[in-house]
Structure 1
Amino acid sequence: MNKFLSFHGIITKIDDFWVSANPEDLGCYKIFTVEDGRGNIVNFVVEPTTYFVDNVVMSAGDIVTGFYDASAAVPFIFPPQYRAIVMALDMQFRNVTVEFFDSQLVNSDSTLKLNLAPYTQIAIRNGQPFTRIPSNRNLIVIYGASTKSLPAQTTPYKIIVLC
């Protein structure tokens, strides 16, 4: 079970990121500089395995949320540099979360419960259907409105299982 954290802000710069001397790696890794409007800056290392919600191509000026593994080692530099697990472009009436959901489909801090519907798309990262109940797993959840109860409840549009 991973603990995911997020950082929300505006992409101010996108550059190639040098990971090795192997010429085949050139252009495959990017670094997204994201600023939150309060002076906080984070660099996200975007790898070929980073999941982009809805396969959106992002550019400087986009408002995004980047999700990263809070338990992963990070270099002690400024601005902080995290390996992006998931990148989501902000869209009106759409929420994205990356979290562990238990056997009752409640997230790890008991603030969100998922109610599955026949129209809820459940897939793995490569787009192939996931044919089991997605409980006790790390999930990318894309949803709209939720209740004001505790935990809030929602019926997601789409769930991506992080196998």
Structure 2
Amino acid sequence: MTNFYSFHGTVTAISDFNPGFNRGCYKLFTVENGRGSIVNFVVTPSTYFVDHEIIRVGDRVTGYFNGDLPVILIYPPQYQAMVFVKDKPDQNIKVDHFDNQLVSSDGELKLNLSPDTQILLTNGQPFSRYPGNQDLIVHYGPTTRSIPAQTVPYRIIVLCFTS
């Protein structure tokens, strides 16, 4: 189970990041939230970009990272990005761990699957099992006003991270 944390803002810089190997395969995205907070995200070849969007300076994004991993004590903080979502109008996306009843770890969203719900792996292949007890990216539309809110998701991406 991944403890997802997020940071939302505008990309102000993108540069190469050199961890000492695989030159050119790592990037550093600087994101500012408009209230004075800045975060640097290390983008690796395993970072998942929702809808495979190309991110550019000036784009509004949300970066997700594992809040349980240790981080170096520098300013601005630097996190390894797990998932990036580019803002789009009328798009609802939740990145979280969902339990066996398909309720998010924060208790705010419950998924009700339908035969039309696409359930995929990050490589676009179908996921053939029940998506409960998994880290998921959920694309959804309208929700109920209940607690937790309930929705029938359009698409679910199952995150099978090994680290």
**TM category, shorter:** over 0.9
Alignment correspondent of 1:95: 92
Distance 1:85 1:151 in 2: 25
Alignment correspondent of 1:120: 117
* Matched length: 160
State the 4+ residue runs in structure 1 displaced beyond 6 angstroms: none
What is the one-letter code of the residue matched to 1:36? N
- Could you list the runs of 5+ residues in structure 2 that have no partner in the other structure? none
| Other structure's SS at 1:13 match | strand
Distance 2:113 2:4 in 1: 22
2:10 aligned with 1:10:
yes
Alignment correspondent of 2:50: 53
User: Residue by residue, what CA displacement relative to the aligned partner does 1:50-86 show, whole Å, maximum 9, x if unpaired?
Assistant: 0000000010000000000000111100001000000
Query: Is the CA contact (8 Å cut-off) linking 1:15 and 1:31 kept in structure 2?
Result: yes
State the Cα RMSD in Å: 0.9
Q: Percentage identity across aligned positions?
A: 57
- The TM-score with structure 1 as length reference comes to 0.95
Pairwise CA distance, 1:100: 0.9
> What does 1:141-156 align with in structure 2 at a 5 Å threshold?
141-156=138-153
- Could you list the runs of 5+ residues in structure 1 that have no partner in the other structure? none
2:56 aligned with 1:81:
no
- The TM-score with structure 2 as length reference comes to 0.95
User: Residue by residue, what CA displacement relative to the aligned partner does 1:11-32 show, whole Å, maximum 9, x if unpaired?
Assistant: 0000000111x3xx11110000
Pairwise CA distance, 1:145: 2.2
